[in-house]
Amino acid sequence: MRIFSNNPRMRDQFIMEIAERELLLKSLNINPLLKKLYTRHQKLEKEVEHIRHYAKYSTSAAMKHTELKKEKLRGKEELLAMLYNPEMIIPS
Half-sphere exposure of 69 (CA within 13 A, CB side): 11
CA angle 4, 69, 42 (to 5 degrees): 80
In a domain, 76, yes or no: yes
In a domain, 32, yes or no: yes
In a domain, 31, yes or no: yes
pLDDT band at 8 (very low <50, low <70, confident <90, very high): low
Domain hosting residue 53, numbered range: 8-89
In a domain, 3, yes or no: no
| Count of the separate structural domains present in the chain | 1
Digit-coded pLDDT (tens) for 53-82? 898 899 999 999 999 999 999 998 888 888
